[in-house]
Amino acid sequence: MPLSEAHSSNTGAIRRRNQSLILKAAAEEFVKSGYKGTSLQVIAQRAELPKANILYYFKSKEGLYRALISDIVELWNNAFEGITADDEPSQAIEIYIRSKLHYSRTHPLHSRLFAMEFIQGAPNLDESLRAPIREWALSRSAVLQTWIDQGLIQARSPMDVLFAIWSTTQFYADFDAEINFIYQNPLSDSQFELAEQNLVELLLRGLGLLKSEP
């Protein structure tokens, strides 16, 4: 590999590492102190990087927050993004449920940050961020409505199907403190796997996609 390519590859790896550290630190601080109560200096200290690095990669606190929210939405949506009305509903919905639960398990801070933003009325999201979220929900709702019209799933409102999936899967991140309180410990991997299977069966059965056992 030519030296110029090696240098470029190394620079790219450093950029990805630094951005990852900054986004992780930002999620922790925004959840802890809110958007207004969080400074770039505090984020830099948590990430153990100069504040100048944050400004270099994200330009401003607003730019960093937007990048974080965009990453959250993209990761959440990926599992249901390419689904069409021609796909098999049971498999598509199960994959989406499991994906959302896995994200809650591995990225609880991101889920809490998103919830906090909307509980406050989404004051830090302009229309350029709001519109894609709304459009994605409407497009997925249209697929669900087609399945309803074809008698493939049992539901009265497609949007409420999405709301049910969001609320149940994100509960394991947004309210993990309550879960830990009830169990007196964080969920073990086996407990989470049991909860995942239970939730998949519960939601699929409610949509008429899983036969009830006698």
- Cα–Cα distance measured from residue 109 to residue 26, given in angstroms and rounded to the nearest whole number: 10
Domain ranges of the chain: 1-59, 68-214
Tens-digit pLDDT string for the chain (214 aa):
554 554 456 778 888 999 999 999 999 999 999 999 999 999 999 999 999 999 999 999 999 999 999 999 998 888 888 899 999 999 999 999 999 999 999 999 999 999 999 999 999 999 999 999 999 999 999 999 999 999 999 999 999 999 999 999 999 999 999 999 999 999 999 999 999 999 999 999 999 998 766 4
1-59 placed in CATH 1.10.10.60: yes
User: What sign does the CA torsion over 60, 14, 102, 104 have?
Assistant: negative
- What's the Cα-to-Cα distance from 83 to each of 3, 26, 45, 95, rounded to whole Å? 43, 32, 41, 11
* Token pair belonging to 169: 């899967």
Q: What is the pTM of this model?
A: 0.87
97-116 burial: b if 16+ Cβ within 10 Å, else e:
bbbbbebbbebbbbbbbbbe
68-214 placed in CATH 1.10.357.10: yes
Angle among Cα 198, 203, 208 to the nearest 5 degrees reads 125
How high is the pLDDT of residue 210?
Answer: 85
1-59 and 68-214 share one fold: no
User: How many Cβ atoms sit within 10 Å of the Cβ of residue 23?
Assistant: 20
